[in-house]
Chain A
Amino acid sequence: MKTYLIHRLAIAVVTLLGMSVVIFVLLRLLPGDVVDILFSTAGYVNPTEKQAIMRELGLDRPVWVQYLDWVRQIVSGDLGKSYRYDIPAWQIVRPLLPVSLELGALSVVVAVLLGVPTGVVSAVRQDTALDYVLRVLSLAGLSMPSFWLGMVIILGLVACLGWIPPLTYVPPGENLKLHAVQFLLPALAVGYRSSALIMRIARSALLEVLREDYIRTAWAKGQRPRAIVWRHALRNAILPVVTVIGIEVAFVVGGLVVTETVFNLPGVARFLVQAILWRDSPIVQNLVMFIAIVVILTNLVVDLLYGVLDPRLRYGD
């Protein structure tokens, strides 16, 4: 287990290094830079003044020097300074992180709570009216982009109730009920899509297991249906579901980008879009690296979970 962990962590470091190069190069390939954007707010560009600002921001240095500088900063725990706001990047990012982490976690919880039970019900009631309804709902979930669903929720609330959740962040300590409402609706918008995928995977995996001999034996022995489905069948069908949940965590980040914008939640994902539009490299690079770390760690946790869920897959030293 220890060897496996060290091996995986070593791969993670290499992956992150590769990611850092990709992020850095892609950002430099985008047309225009932060100085162009600064000038665009003034409606003109002056080449001499532009050069001076480039120098001030250190953007006139060779690209590889800028890259090494960034890596050195990350290693020393310094995230650099935002070009746009002229203050340390960490100072900006820090209050945004809990919002996105909470929304992301809530979205995954919604996805699992909706996806797994409906998948089980759909498999157990295969080819019944309920199965068809659930499959249509899951198809709808896969077809609806989360930003569209978010907008529909907002417009629906406006039309029906003349009310929408608060558009400025309400901390849980200030008003827990309002905070919950503020997060649940966007979590539903993001989680619904993931739940649809989880439901379909859970259904097909369970259908396969339900046709196994040992399940037939359990039925023949007169075991309680609930025990057969939840204890024997689902446990053996859960591995692909867990894999999908792990993959969906990465997709949830994508969903957050638009959902945070639609629901006006001050999270990392919404801020990332603005930072990209502004070519605010220190913010973009560090946020993307943060997201990469979250995805890599989630995958590691999923892989470790395999061993917990299936004794045959336990990692030996």
Chain B
Amino acid sequence: MGRVRVMTVAASVASALCVALIATSAAAQTPKSGGSLNVALREDLPQGFSIHETATISTVWPAMPCFSNLVLFDPLKKTESADTVIGELAEKWSWQDNYRNLVFFLRKDVRWHDGKPLTSKDVKFTFDVLREAPDAPAKLRINPRRDWYANVDAVEAADVHTVIFRLKRPQPSLLLMLASGYTPIYAAHVPPASYRTGCVGTGPFKLKEWRKGEFVEYVKNPDYFVKGRPYLDGLRYVVIVERGTRTAALQTGQVDVAFPGETPKTVAEQLKKAVLQLVVTPVSQNVNDNIIMNVKKPPFDNVKVRLAVSYAIDRRALIEAVHQGGAVAGASLAPKPYGVWGLLDKDLGTLPGYGKPAEEKGKARKLLAEVGQGPQKPLRVEMVTRAIPIYVDMASFVINELKQVGIEASLKQIETAQWHAMATCGDYQIGANLTGIGPDDPDANFYENYACGSPRNYSQYCSDEVMKLIDQQSRELDAKKRLAIVQAIQRKLEEDAARPMLDWRVDYFTVWPHVRNLVPHQSIYNWGRMQEVWAAK
């Protein structure tokens, strides 16, 4: 009897402990308001808060908390796709006329940080400026994503809270591009140039101070249109230029959140070893390493030479040697498990450079022999790359690979100030390059990097067949059919060695455990809003 009683008591205590633990755990998971976080920045904001005038994470990451989009990728879901798009300034939206019109119904309770109400005029203003409509009321100094809106025929403010995007043809991807961190709505009553020095947005945080070269400080927007958000009282983005110091700052808790895309595998391992409780999440950056070859100039106007280069480079060895395993192989769209559109491993295996290294190098030598190059008559080229370690490391590896098949490449490092001018003008033979893509979406990628005449199509590759396929996938409404076309394009691009992909970089995004609800997505450019983030301190 006594034994039964003891067991009963023990069971009761255990149950109580269990309940207490569950309650504690639940409490720990219940978001709470208050507190602030320090977030690392690798450099000062290049053009202030003017997201529309830049294409760099250095702007979009620290500027996003100030703004709102029409729609946004759900901050709490790690994979971005059409299914994870949620309304932000748009309460709801609807595709009409067989995906030719996209209608947004705006929230009525939104105010700009200066107190003025948001209306459909602000949305029309933003997109007329972005697509450089003939009657656009203002002009951006630099407009890197004009091509995203090439299919938008008109933007109409139907009434104060309704906006209609009229498209030249159906384009389901438009919604995804609108959900990117690169697509905030600007205020019509504020000149676009003023965003280079300050920020009037509708976002969860208001700009308190931008001390140049030092920090950007935000405070909670008390009039934010989502009730109960943001959770944090403030955010401080601290500029720490020196990488070693940045790592030390994270390790010692001076910053709570790392800069996205800046924690390679080796650093993450070192951090985790030093501070066990740090939370490290391997995630795609949507940034790839690739080889650009000027198809307008010999010798790379010959597809056989381009293919020889592609065959020569052992992707898996590169991932191990240059990234210590912190990258994944893939074609022109981010591979699974991170990306949605990438080729499967079995498809990749059939593409140049993914087979057995010795066999692939043999194919490269054969192709070179066909164009009269070989061990006795090596092909001599100049390889350019940016004078930044992450570029140079990759370029050095590639040069060594090329040497093994009879291509002797000398390395020329180009300063950032000259790199894009050189690449855009095609003033090079071959280069080792990095490409970042806003949303993980075929339209955003293909039109920007492979379309005939696009300024960011550095290889100047132009194929009618590929263009037709790109347009075809862009208007395809059936998801399965579209995926099939997109994968066919990726295969074709690799078979033409348009811009051979080497790998997709993986970031080991690191935060302190008290940082909650900051969920990294498969593209570093779209999840910096911070409205759901809270501090469990």
List residues of chain A with CB under 8 Å of any chain B CB: 30-33, 36-46, 49, 52-53, 56, 84-87, 92, 95-96, 151, 154-155, 158, 162-164, 166-169, 261-264, 266, 270-271, 274, 277, 279
Over the window 245-268 of chain B, the binary record of Cβ atoms lying under 8 Å from chain A Cβ atoms (1 yes, 0 no) is 100110110110000000000000
Closest-CB distance, A179 to chain B (whole angstroms): 15
Q: Which residue of A lies closest to B213 (CB)?
A: A271
The interface on chain B, measured as residues whose beta carbon lies within 8 A of the other chain's beta carbons, has a size of 49
In-complex Cβ contact of B254 among A43, A44, A85, A166 (8 A): A166
Interfacial residues of chain B within 426-481, with CB under 8 A of chain A in the complex: 455-456
CB-CB under 8 A for A45 and B424, given A38-B47, A262-B242? yes
When chains A and B are docked, how far (Å) is the Cα of A154 from the Cα of B58? 25
When chains A and B are docked, how far (Å) is the Cα of A36 from the Cα of B211? 24
Q: Tell whether, in the assembled complex, residue B416 and residue A85 are in contact, meaning their CB atoms are under 8 Å apart.
A: no
> Given A41-B58, A43-B144, 10 other A-B contacts at CB below 8 A?
A40-B416, A41-B47, A42-B53, A42-B142, A43-B55, A158-B248, A158-B274, A164-B245, A264-B242, A277-B416
When chains A and B are docked, how far (Å) is the Cα of A270 from the Cα of B44? 12
CB-CB under 8 A for A44 and B212, given A38-B47, A164-B252, A274-B241? no
Name the prevailing secondary structure of the B interface residues.
mixed
Q: Tell whether, in the assembled complex, residue A45 and residue B455 are in contact, meaning their CB atoms are under 8 Å apart.
A: yes
Q: Tell whether, in the assembled complex, residue B48 and residue A37 are in contact, meaning their CB atoms are under 8 Å apart.
A: no
In-complex Cβ contact of A41 among B56, B212, B236, B456 (8 A): B56
Question: Which residues in B have their C-beta under 8 angstroms from that of A44?
Answer: 144, 420, 424, 455-456
Q: Tell whether, in the assembled complex, residue A266 and residue B252 are in contact, meaning their CB atoms are under 8 Å apart.
A: no
Q: Tell whether, in the assembled complex, residue A40 and residue B240 are in contact, meaning their CB atoms are under 8 Å apart.
A: no
Q: Tell whether, in the assembled complex, residue B48 and residue A85 are in contact, meaning their CB atoms are under 8 Å apart.
A: yes
CB-CB under 8 A for A42 and B55, given A86-B197, A168-B238? yes
Q: Tell whether, in the assembled complex, residue A43 and residue B420 are in contact, meaning their CB atoms are under 8 Å apart.
A: yes
Closest-CB distance, B283 to chain A (whole angstroms): 22
Q: Tell whether, in the assembled complex, residue B417 and residue A279 are in contact, meaning their CB atoms are under 8 Å apart.
A: yes
Q: Tell whether, in the assembled complex, residue B142 and residue A167 are in contact, meaning their CB atoms are under 8 Å apart.
A: no
Count how many pairs of residues, one from A and one from B, have CB atoms less than 8 Å apart in the complex: 142
Q: Tell whether, in the assembled complex, residue A155 and residue B455 are in contact, meaning their CB atoms are under 8 Å apart.
A: no
Closest-CB distance, A276 to chain B (whole angstroms): 10
When chains A and B are docked, how far (Å) is the Cα of A168 from the Cα of B215? 8
Over the window 19-61 of chain B, the binary record of Cβ atoms lying under 8 Å from chain A Cβ atoms (1 yes, 0 no) is 0000000000000000000000001101110000111101100
The 24 sampled A-B contact pairs (Cβ below 8 Å) are A32-B418, A33-B417, A36-B418, A39-B142, A39-B420, A41-B47, A41-B58, A42-B54, A42-B142, A84-B46, A85-B196, A92-B212, A95-B211, A96-B213, A155-B248, A158-B248, A158-B252, A167-B254, A262-B242, A262-B245, A263-B245, A264-B239, A270-B213, A274-B43
In-complex Cβ contact of B420 among A36, A162, A270 (8 A): A36
When chains A and B are docked, how far (Å) is the Cα of A155 from the Cα of B144? 40
Question: Which residues in B have their C-beta under 8 angstroms from that of A32?
Answer: 415-418, 421
Q: Tell whether, in the assembled complex, residue B238 and residue A167 are in contact, meaning their CB atoms are under 8 Å apart.
A: yes
Q: Tell whether, in the assembled complex, residue A154 and residue B245 are in contact, meaning their CB atoms are under 8 Å apart.
A: yes
Closest-CB distance, B352 to chain A (whole angstroms): 26
CB-CB under 8 A for A41 and B238, given A85-B197, A164-B249? no
Q: Tell whether, in the assembled complex, residue A31 and residue B144 are in contact, meaning their CB atoms are under 8 Å apart.
A: no
Q: Tell whether, in the assembled complex, residue A167 and residue B240 are in contact, meaning their CB atoms are under 8 Å apart.
A: yes
CB-CB under 8 A for A266 and B214, given A37-B416, A40-B419, A164-B249? yes
- The answer to whether the Cβ of B389 comes within 8 Å of any Cβ in the partner chain is no
- The answer to whether the Cβ of B346 comes within 8 Å of any Cβ in the partner chain is no
Q: Tell whether, in the assembled complex, residue A45 and residue B213 are in contact, meaning their CB atoms are under 8 Å apart.
A: no
